[in-house]
Every structure is written in structure tokens, then in C-alpha cells.
Amino acid sequence: MPVRSRIIGVGSYLPTKILTNHDLEREVDTSDEWILDRTGIRERRIASEEEATSDLAFNAAKEALKGAGIKPEDLDFIIVATVTPDMLFPSSACLVQQRLGVKGIFAFDISAACSGFIYAISVADQYIRSGIHRTGLVIGADTFSRVVDWTDRNTCVLFGDGAGAVVLQADYNGRGIISTHLYSDGTLWDFLYIPGGGSRIPPGEEMVKKRLQYVKMRGNETFKVAVNTMSEAIGEALKSNGLTSADIKLFIPHQANLRIIQAVGKRLNIPMERFKINLDRYGNTSAASIPIALYEAVMEGEIKEDDYILLEAFGGGLTWGSALIRW
């Protein structure tokens, strides 16, 4: 039987500070009813002043390693999916590696926004399937509270901070990642992006004056593309493996907006109870949203051995993708 990458440990970390819709009512022109009706979000977690992305990632990694029953020195590589790294370089993955106290392995970040975790486990899966490496740590982590314009009610209500992690290991019993499906369309880059802080618009007075260091989003256009791309990613994963939606125990979508998930479910005739949803408590945690939801599904006993689960996401780039897993 061919080698597959099996998830042997899951972890999650969420900051302790909770920012509710009622809190936001006091900061911007919005209301709990408005936010809940349009997004399904009630509250989100916000990192403390002392916490950066690598701190969130490190805490999730520790739990995943503990759950897997392995030590950091058993790892062959570390991949962190994030678009809010501690700094431009070194990578947050290298900072996590340093915190874990493990040397002699490689570590790097992947930038695919909210699709980052799907991209990261796909890359990790190729290393393991090839036989080059046996065990890897994949983390999705973002601190969007640092790049959200808190005067923009259309974006500040959407995002939260968090991290989720998985340990992948070679398995020869038919379980693990069955297939991954990745896509992107750079012509739609300006649907969701942060214009400032890079080489195009470097940090400086002009960038700050025009508030270009913050997330910009074309909401209506992004919504439509998200429904189309997530539906496509699910359909391709099922078709490629000769399955139907009835074969999937649990769908774990990127937690961006409840309306998007509902529209995808309606389009594909998948009942809402088949989707794992926690965005009401955490908002959109970007690359962290799927591994956090996966962690909760495992801890709550929603996934059993040999169940098929399907992960699906879309994000800035635009990027999207899916991963079919036999647990």
C-alpha cells in the first residue's frame, strides 16, 4: 500500500482576550445584529501586546506534539502558513523551531492567506509521500488584529487571532491525506490584500498617512468568488476520488463568513450539520481557521477512525483549495 501522510496529533491556541460585537459597537458604527446577520460572528480572540504570530504558533505546536506523543527532535521539518509573520524575515517557522529547541531540520513559511493551511499540508504531504522525510509539523497561525483597520467597520468585524497545528507522519495502512487540490488566480489579487509594508509601498510616513498597512477587501466580489471557488474545490476532491458528498463524515471549511458556507452547502446540496462551524466564537482567523476547527472536531469526538473528512478554503491571492483525508 502506498505511503500517505497521516495526522497523528492536533493542537490549537487561542488568545485569552475576547472581543465581542457589543465591544465593537462602542468603537465603530456597527451593531451586534448587523455583524451577526451578515457574518455569523459573535466574538473573536485578540492577541495580547506581548503575543506575536510565532508565539501563537509555538503554543499550538506544543499541544500537537504532545497529542502525537513525539518530541521536537523527532521532526524532519516545520512549515508555518501565515500572512502576518513576526517580521519580514526570518520566517515564523524558524522562530518556532528555535522555541522548540530543535536543530538540523528545515523550516519555512507559506503565504497563501486563508488557504495557507491547505497549501502547507499539501507541500508537507509531498515530502512524506516521496519518502524523503517521515515526520513534519504544519501550523496555521495569524494575528490579523495587527493588520486590521479598526476604523473600517467592513473589515474589522471579520477577523480574529489564533493558531492551529498538526503533526503529519508516514503511514502505510491506507489512512491519511488522500489528495490535495490547489488553485490560484492572480488576476483577482486586489479583492483581498494589504498594499503597504512590502517593496511596492515600503514602510514610511506616506504609507501610514494613507493607512495602507491595513487589510483592504472588495467584500461583495470576494463573497461571490469564495462561494464559487470553495464549491469547485469540494467538487474536484470528490470527483477525483470517485466519492460523493454522502461519503464525507465532516466538511471543515475556512471560517470566513457563515453566509458563504451556507451558500456552498445549498449549491452542493450538503446539509449544514455536515459542516464544522466555530466562526461565531473566533471570527476569521485566516490560515488558523481550519486547523482550529479540526482540533475541536477531534477533541469533541466528531471524527472517528476511517472517516473521510474534507477541508476546503479560499483566501487572498486569490487562492483556494481542498484536502481529502481518511482519518
- Among residues 21, 94, 133, 254, the one annotated as catalytic is 254
Residue 12 in grid coordinates: 490549537
DSSP letters for 82-121 = -SS-SSSSS-HHHHHHHHHT--SSEEEEE--GGGHHHHHH
**Residue with the three cell numbers 458604527:** 29
Residue 154 falls in the annotated catalytic set: no
Tell me whether the omega of the peptide bond preceding residue 188 falls within 30 degrees of 0, making it cis.
no
Cis ω on the peptide bond leading into residue 90 (within 30° of 0)? yes
Asked if 114 is an active-site residue, the reply is yes
Q: Are 287 and 113 in contact (CB under 8 A)?
A: yes
284 is catalytic: yes
Q: DSSP for 244-313, please give it.
A: -GGG-SEEEE--S-HHHHHHHHHHHT--GGGB---HHHH-B-GGGHHHHHHHHHHHTT---TT-EEEEEE
Q: Which of 21, 59, 257, 284 does the annotation list as catalytic?
A: 284
Cell 470566513, located at residue: 256
Largest CA distance in the chain: 59
Question: Cell 505511503 maps to which residue?
Answer: 3
114, 156, 181, 257: which is the annotated catalytic residue? 114
Beta pairing, strands 43-46 & 17-20: antiparallel
Phi then psi for residue 129, to 5 deg, are: -60, -35
Active site residues: 114, 254, 284
